[in-house]
Structure 1
Amino acid sequence: MSDPIIQLTGIHAAYRHGRQRVTALDGVDLTVEHGEIFGLLGPNGAGKTTLLSILEGLLRPDRGRVTLDGIDVLAAPAEAKRRLGIQLQRSALIDDLTVAELVHLYSSLYEVEMSKAQVDELLARFDLADKVRSFARRLSGGQQQRLALALAVANDPPIVLLDEPTSALDPRARRAMWDIIRRLHTEGRTILLTTHAMEEAEALCSRVAIIDRGQIVACDTPAALIDQIDVRPILKAVIEVPLDRVAPLPGVRAARYTGQHLEVETAEPQVTLAALHQLAAEHGRRVGDVAIRPPNLEDVFLKLTGRSLG
């Protein structure tokens, strides 16, 4: 069996916030295998971006070892960077260059010379064939994200790092980006993406690591994580009743409000729903917008950490 293409061992990292020393990563061990789409799932501030910065060679950890495709990132950062394509959470594109000029610029930074035909082929893969002569500032948000991803693979890297690749996109543009990420994967690339959207992790990733307060608290396939944590179906409804009156209802294992919705983890959804209707009537309320959904990674995160991903 080949060695992991990405390996972090005993990574510690901290930063200064005024006079305070804040731990960003606290003994992180992580491996990503060749050809995976691997998700790093956690809320803002959990340590996701710090971890990517270390992989990218932009930040040196206080302790630990990092290898990319067998290359020690700390000992040979320039060589390691050649194995990477990187899309940052916010890409600062040069507004007054055309899309084609940006591809030539970024590829040249990796000492890669691309012909016009190669540029055209790359942009076509990212649905930007008709934007070759457009200035970056004229692109929509989704088009800018697709261009950033095209620039990330202009040097044909085996590993692609994506930091919150769809965070600012509407649902349609988000799903278009998912299709492109899947396409990159079918080309044989290994993809590591950070996200705090459980739907994205479940849709794309073969394995997920959940990170919280700088530590990996779980790592497995999305389905295995849900099975291991033993989360029951979630009854979701719009209703205003005290949580302490919901908790004793039959079948209820946990209850919480998320925005205007009551979410109840229950072993017996229909029995719980009938009891909830009765409780609502006692308070002169009605139960609306009822839905029963299977457990997901956000429920797993809540179970493991006691707080939501948002």
Structure 2
Amino acid sequence: MIIQADDLRKSFTTKSRKGTQTVEAVRGVGLEVEKGEIFGVLGPNGAGKTTTIRMLSTLIAPDAGTAVIAGHDLLKHPAAVRRNLGYVSQAGGVEDTTSARAQVVMAARIHDVADPKQAAAEVLERFDLTEMADRPGRTLSGGQKRRVAIAIGLVHSPPLLFLDEPTTGLDPQNRANLWERIRQLREAGTSVLLSTHYLDEADALCDRLMIVDHGEVVAEGTPGDLKRQVSGDVITLRADDLEKAAGTLKPLAREIRVDEDVLRVYVDDGEHTLPALLRALEGQGVGLSSIALDRSTLDDVFLAKTGRTLRDAGAES
């Protein structure tokens, strides 16, 4: 186990004209990350993902809870924890006026790497950055800056890398490229703790993940297991009378949810259930304007656990 954390808590106090307000950002989060896996923290903006990662990376101290990272106690031996991890923030941390090479070399020196220049050259080559390594940061594309940020986090060869919203703001091509780089890290034996609010990113990359909302863990498991907990398939329909449609279809479904102007019908086998569903609605005179059959998604899991979709909670898909 490379991370074992229990009951982490963190509150922040803010002052305004209305007075002092305390916000519980993280409320009893626990997680376990195995060596050599990509573990995801999925949730909407403001769910506590970044605060959790900042606590685990020693950037802020938890108010309560314990954690052991790479064999070192988070509170008793923070310096040892820092030596064993790399951290890439949402902002990335790539400086505009300095070359990528200089920034990676500086990171190597901060971590007391024996040969900083050689270590920098190796990690820059690993991420296909050699050709642009001597250009200032401001001349690099968004995807290139992200790769430089990861190179900075990995130059001292830590066994664990924290990636906080690594693909935010990237175009689809750069996102796909970075996904492949992250998979390569796992193949090379690096453990990755990844926070994201992108459903497809968590589904595509994570061996296991936890879903957080309002500072609490609402679900944990592999993407496949979590989706199977909800149901095998989901039939989404729009009808002229959603309440009547829901009552009609209840005997055919594992679960039914009304989500604004659509009805979500969760079933074990959508392909075989769909004809019976259509016959039942027709028999009750319920008119349909649209219907779709899909596999359950992580958004369906979030909806089942919280009563709203991840998109409604303020995240992107």
TM-score (ref. length: structure 1): 0.87
**How far does residue 184 in structure 1 lie from its aligned partner after superposition?**
0.7
Per the alignment, residue 277 of structure 2 pairs with: 272
1:223/1:161 CA distance change after superposition, 3 Å: same
SS at match of 1:31: strand
**How far does residue 270 in structure 1 lie from its aligned partner after superposition?**
3.6
Quote the Cα distance in structure 2 between the aligned partners of 1:163 and 1:232: 30
**How far does residue 119 in structure 1 lie from its aligned partner after superposition?**
3.0
**How far does residue 117 in structure 1 lie from its aligned partner after superposition?**
5.1
Per the alignment, residue 234 of structure 1 pairs with: 234
SS at match of 2:218: strand
Q: Deviations over 1:186-239 (max 9, x none)?
A: 111111111122221121111111222222222222222222x242412346x5
1:244 equivalent in alignment to 2:249? no
**How far does residue 123 in structure 1 lie from its aligned partner after superposition?**
1.8
Quote the Cα distance in structure 2 between the aligned partners of 1:262 and 1:61: 42
Does the CA-based 8 Å contact 1:39-1:208 persist in structure 2? yes
- Kindly tell me the number of residue pairs found equivalent between the two proteins: 299
Does the CA-based 8 Å contact 1:266-1:272 persist in structure 2? no
More displaced stretch, 9-18 vs 65-74: 9-18
1:233/1:60 CA distance change after superposition, 3 Å: same
Quote the Cα distance in structure 2 between the aligned partners of 1:73 and 1:31: 14
Does the CA-based 8 Å contact 2:13-2:22 persist in structure 1? yes
Aligned-residue CA RMSD (Å): 2.5
1:72/1:129 CA distance change after superposition, 3 Å: same
Structure 2: gaps spanning 5 or more residues: 312-317
Quote the Cα distance in structure 2 between the aligned partners of 1:178 and 1:273: 40
Q: Determine what percentage of the aligned residue pairs are the same residue.
A: 37
Structure 1: gaps spanning 5 or more residues: none
Per the alignment, residue 35 of structure 2 pairs with: 34
SS at match of 2:186: helix
Per the alignment, residue 8 of structure 1 pairs with: 5
1:304/1:119 CA distance change after superposition, 3 Å: same
Alignment-mate amino acid for residue 65 of structure 1: T
Q: Deviations over 1:23-51 (max 9, x none)?
A: 12222222111111111111111111111
Does the CA-based 8 Å contact 2:108-2:120 persist in structure 1? no
Does the CA-based 8 Å contact 1:233-1:269 persist in structure 2? no
Quote the Cα distance in structure 2 between the aligned partners of 1:249 and 1:232: 20
Quote the Cα distance in structure 2 between the aligned partners of 1:230 and 1:120: 47
TM-score (ref. length: structure 2): 0.85
